[in-house]
Structure 1
Amino acid sequence: MDWNLRTCSRKGHVTYAPEESRYRDKLEAHTPLGDAWRCLRCGAYVLGEPHGSGRADDAPVLLRGKALRSAFILRLLAIERWVRGLVLTLLAIAVFRLKSSQVSLQELFSRDVSALRPFFRQVHFNISDSATIKSIQHVLHTKSSTLTVVGVGLLVYGLLQVLEGIGLWSLRRWGEYVAVVGTTLFIPLEVYELTETITWLKIVVLLVNIAAVVYLLVSKRLFGLRGGYRAYEASLNEESLLEVEHSSAA
């Protein structure tokens, strides 16, 4: 798949007129229909005035090539976070409803998420085998006053997953920080889940989350790694010039 063409077809081309003649001459073309400018993303010539102009260093930084694939990965992670947040929120609601119900947590949760049962069956997830659910039940049966604490904790963590998803989907740096912290906090729970039963889904989820943490830390230079935020900003500024160089040399 040509990610650049795919994105231009959805969002439109981006043209830019650099002040430096060595770049401008290669990006501009004169045609019988008028001047045309090369798109910085896909390299196609577009008739009409450029969308922007100025120094090559100030050219817009576009998602292209590896950056587009990176954005695709982050948005897949965002969807996974939203699904997880939905499950945790439903579980929190089930805990709150236990205050006025005599049914077990599995029965109440299973009844409330009946619409998601086909999905759970497809991924071979059995809530009855969850070590986390069993631990919550043990706590609830031991001391009923912990219902509110457990419910609030699940709700807060579910909302954190939703917040992670928003940050990752919008490709914000704060979202990357929240995703790393939230995912790291969740890894011990996933390891604990494996102590009860081992399934391919749990193993895959654990490996994906570990890989996501490492990927975000290294590629986004979080928490001071590889020069930290300043080095990351410098790399973005360098990429803006590379956009012009790449397009003019295409």
Structure 2
Amino acid sequence: MRRAQGIRTVALLEATKGVVVLLSGFGLFALLHRNVQALAEELVKHTHLNPASHAPRIFIEYAGHLDDARLQQLALAALAYAGVRLVEAYGLWCQKTWGEGLAAASGAIYLPFELRELLAQPGLLTFCLLLLNLAVVLFMVDSLRRRRAARPLR
């Protein structure tokens, strides 16, 4: 019963990520044919940030380089990523073996990047995210191992 609850928890986490990225993708589509740099400048002004300081300046400059083709590429990539996360969540929720395999593989892909980030810029948040992802991957691998051990021999 505990394993099933853990898998459902991971399914909810993946579904949440999928929905957030899905909404972000639709948000990017909404920016098509709009002056994204002007919107970024307005957002910086609205949040009372100094547009000359480092992060807001980079945000505004990057927004100035987003043309419709790039926005569409980013939106489609977000929709594809969200689709994978939502399919993974479905597979986990329904306790499908392929869902657990997909969760283990998709989580493991990020581990080297997260480790590199932790080594380059150590921080508590980076460390916690690496540990969380590692725990999910190990949990999924263990679940797959237990499922295989419980399967009768043919």
Whether TM-score is above 0.5 comes out as yes
Q: Which has the higher helix share?
A: 2
> Partners of 1:105 and 1:218 in 2: how far apart?
48
Asked if 1 retains the 8 angstrom alpha-carbon contact of 2:11 and 2:89, the reply is yes
Q: Which residue of 2 aligns with 1:142?
A: 65
CA RMSD, 1 decimal: 3.4
Asked if 1 retains the 8 angstrom alpha-carbon contact of 2:21 and 2:82, the reply is yes
Out of 78, 83, 86, the position equivalent to 2:19 is 86
Q: What SS does the corresponding residue of 2:151 show, helix, strand or coil?
A: helix
> Partners of 2:19 and 2:107 in 1: how far apart?
16
Q: Which residue of 2 aligns with 1:235?
A: 150
Q: With CA pairs under 8 Å and 6+ residues apart, which has the higher RCO, 1 or 2?
A: 2
1:212 Cα deviation after fit? 1.2
TM-score, normalisation: structure 1: 0.44
Identity across the alignment (%)? 25
Counterpart amino acid of 2:72?
T
1:216 Cα deviation after fit? 1.7
Matched, 1:152 2:44: no
Q: What CA deviation, in whole Å up to 9, does each residue of 1:196-215 have, x standing for no partner?
A: 79454x54333111111122
The count of aligned residue pairs is: 133
TM-score, normalisation: structure 2: 0.68
Unaligned runs of 5+ in 2: 44-54
Q: Which residue of 2 aligns with 1:170?
A: 94
1:151 Cα deviation after fit? 0.9
> Partners of 1:182 and 1:148 in 2: how far apart?
24
Unaligned runs of 5+ in 1: 1-67, 108-128, 239-250
